[in-house]
């Protein structure tokens, strides 16, 4: 039996090589580059060890960037939880046919490039856009709202992009709920609210926490949403890295920023898991 297992193990070896080569490899390269010396020219750097790239991040301009990114990621995650949990919960309680329709509606946007969908939001949010026209027609506002190219627009875009992951994560764990447990809790004296908090929420927490990670981690890096819907007002770490790679032509600094971002995000997840004590996160980790 043992030998047979090993044989099957060999079959997946190519996958390990692939992972090493294309995931771990670039990471090592990135870390290495982050300690290299930038020499100005187009994408040029020399292999001279330096910590300058890291000390540069301490500059208030760049620190501000990190703070803004974290703030946005937190705000996005909280709002996605508040919208996504009830959505996923009630979706799991629909009839089988209702579930299918909902699932379809959630998947449809993924058939279009996310970039194109963001331009859709510009059409909706701009001064003479769909939203303002609609609100004006029903008489809720006199002057058009200036949502586009502001913080709320970025937040809307982030929520829009990440909400499906939360919904699906919550849905899958609510779907697995044994509702007789809720009946048991009511039977033992729990009000509907108490039954929800002590049983339903506790048992669907893995799904919710998975959704939080699936929302928080990408929201740290989704720079193009801030670029497109936020104009140039909101500069996130993601945008900064992209900027340093292209226009700024400073690869070592971009690499250092990326390393710090990765470390901070990992730290967040680590702390998060320490606080929540959830071992089994619906499929991930």
Would you say 59 or 187 has its CB closer to another protein?
A: 187
Note whether 269 binds another protein by CB under 8 A.
Answer: no
Q: Which position among 100, 176, 202, 233 is part of the footprint of another protein (CB under 8 A)?
A: 202
CA torsion angle 242 231 82 113 (round to 10): -60
Q: Which is nearer to another protein, 59 or 178 (CB)?
A: 178
Nearest 5°: CA angle at 203, between 92 and 96?
A: 15
Interface pick for another protein out of 183, 233, 263, 271 (rule CB under 8 A): 183
* Enclosing H/E stretch for 37: strand 37-38
Do the beta carbons of residue 92 and residue 175 sit within 8 Å?
A: yes
Number of C-beta neighbours around residue 254 at 10 A? 23
Q: Could you say which residues in the range 74-113 bind another protein, by CB under 8 A? A: none
The answer to the question of residue 204 lying near another protein (CB under 8 A) is: no
Q: How far is it, in rounded angstroms, from Cα 34 to Cα 51?
A: 8
Considering the rule CB under 8 A, would residue 59 count as an interface residue with another protein?
no
Distance CA 232, CA 215 (A): 23
| Tokens 């509606």, residue located | 105
180 near another protein (CB under 8 A): yes
Give the one residue of 105, 184, 267, 271 binding another protein; rule: CB under 8 A.
Answer: 184
Specify the residue, 199 or 213, whose C-beta has the smaller distance to another protein: 199
In whole angstroms, give the CA distance from residue 54 to residue 51. Answer: 6
Q: Does 177 bind another protein (CB under 8 A)?
A: no
Q: Are 50 and 34 in contact (CB under 8 A)?
A: no
Interior angle at CA 39, CA 33 and CA 40, nearest 5: 110
Q: Does 281 bind another protein (CB under 8 A)?
A: no
Of 114, 126, 198, 249, the one binding another protein (CB under 8 A) is 198
Rg (CA), the chain: 23
How far apart, in whole angstroms, are the C-alpha atoms of residue 276 and residue 168? 20
**Binding of another protein at residue 187 (CB under 8 A)?**
yes
Which one of residues 17, 22, 46, 178 is an interface residue with another protein (CB under 8 A)?
A: 178
Nearer to another protein, 185 or 250 (CB): 185
Pick one of 14, 40, 60, 189: the residue that binds another protein (CB under 8 A): 189
Nearer to another protein, 77 or 185 (CB): 185
Minimum CB separation of residue 182 from another protein in Å reads: 9
CA distance 100 to 91: 10
Contacts of 228 (CB under 8 A, 6+ apart): 115, 118, 119, 122, 157
> Does residue 194 belong to the site contacting another protein (CB under 8 A)?
yes
**Smallest gap, in angstroms, from Cβ of residue 235 to another protein?**
43
Q: Which residues bind another protein (CB under 8 A)?
A: 178, 180-181, 183-192, 194, 198-199, 202-203
């Amino acid at each position: 039996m043992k030998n047979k297992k090993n044989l099957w193990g060999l079959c997946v070896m190519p996958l390990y090589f692939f992972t090493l080569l294309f995931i771990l490899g670039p990471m090592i390269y990135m870390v290495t580059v982050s300690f290299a010396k930038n020499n100005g020219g187009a994408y040029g750097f020399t292999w001279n060890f330096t910590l300058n790239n890291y000390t540069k991040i301490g500059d208030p301009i760049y620190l501000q960037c990190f703070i803004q990114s974290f703030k946005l990621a937190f705000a996005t995650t909280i709002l996605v939880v508040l919208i996504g949990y009830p959505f996923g919960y009630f979706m799991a309680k629909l009839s089988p046919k209702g579930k299918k329709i909902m699932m379809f509606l959630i998947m449809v946007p993924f058939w279009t490039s996310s970039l194109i969908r963001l331009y859709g939001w510009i059409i909706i949010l701009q001064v003479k856009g769909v939203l303002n026209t609609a609100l004006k027609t029903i008489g809720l506002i006199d002057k058009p709202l200036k949502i586009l190219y502001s913080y709320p627009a970025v937040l809307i875009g982030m929520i829009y992009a990440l909400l499906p992951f939360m919904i699906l994560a919550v849905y899958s764990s609510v779907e697995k709920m044994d509702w007789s447990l809720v009946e048991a809790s009511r039977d033992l004296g729990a009000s509907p609210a108490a039954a929800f908090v002590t049983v339903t929420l506790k048992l669907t927490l893995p799904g919710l926490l998975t959704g939080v990670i699936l929302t928080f981690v990408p929201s740290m890096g989704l720079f193009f949403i801030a670029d497109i819907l936020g104009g140039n007002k909101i500069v996130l770490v993601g945008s900064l890295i992209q900027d340093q790679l292209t226009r700024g032509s400073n690869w070592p600094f971009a690499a250092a920023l990326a390393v710090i971002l990765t470390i901070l995000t990992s730290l967040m997840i680590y702390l998060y898991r320490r606080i929540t004590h959830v071992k089994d996160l619906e499929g991930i980790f």
